[in-house]
Amino acid sequence: MSMLPILEFPDPRLRTKAADVDPAELATPAFQTLLDDMFETMYEAPGIGLAASQVDVHKRFMVIDVTEDKSRPLVFINPRISARAGEQVYQEGCLSVPGIYADVTRSDTVTVEALDRHGQAFSLDADGVLAVCVQHEMDHLDGKLFVDYLSPLKREMVRKKLLKAKRSAA
C-alpha cells in the first residue's frame, strides 16, 4: 500500500465531476489496490472520508470510516442518495481544505445506494456523522467542496489563508 497525494483547495481539479465506475473495473487488482491506498491515505491524514476526486481520480467512488478504532471501513461505488430527512448543522473539515472548519447544514439522515468493493449492490441508512460524511464525500464527486456552502467573502478568506500557508511552507 502507499500514500496518495491529496489535492488541496483551490486546485481546479477538485471541481471535476466524477464519471461512473465501470463495474468490470472493480475486479481488477489495480482498482482494489487503489481502494486500499485510499484507506491508508485517509487514516494517515487523519480523516474519516476520502473521495476519489481528492486523489485526482475522477471516478464516482469514496471510502469512509467514522469509527475511532478504524473498525468499519466502507466503500461506496457509484453512490446515489435515494432519501433524505431532517436537517442538522455540523462543523465540517476537509482533507482538501486543511485546518479550516465551518458549520454546514446537511440532511440529518440519508439512504445511500451503492456498490461495495466487490460490486455487490447495497443500501445503507445513515444518520449523524456518517450521514454528514456521505453527503460531504458525494459533494466531492460532483466537484463541490464544503467551502461552497460559505459566503463568497468567507470562501475567499479561506482561499487566501491556504495559499499563504502554502507559500510560507515552500
First to last CA, the chain: 27
Find where cell 468567507 sits. 154
58 annotated ligand-binding residue:
no
CA distance 4 to 38: 7
* CA 32 and chain centroid, separation: 18
CA distance 123 to 116: 10
Asked if residue 75 lies in contact with residue 61, where contact means CB atoms within 8 angstroms, the answer is yes
140 annotated ligand-binding residue:
yes
133 annotated ligand-binding residue:
no
Of 25, 87, 92, 137, the active-site residue reads 137
Asked if residue 2 lies in contact with residue 40, where contact means CB atoms within 8 angstroms, the answer is yes
Instruction: Characterise 70 by phi-psi region: left (phi > 0), alpha (psi -120 to 50), beta (else).
Output: left
* CA 151 and chain centroid, separation: 21
- Is residue 137 annotated as a catalytic residue, yes or no? yes
Which residues belong to the annotated binding site for Fe cation?
A: 94, 136, 140
Q: Catalytic site residues? A: 137
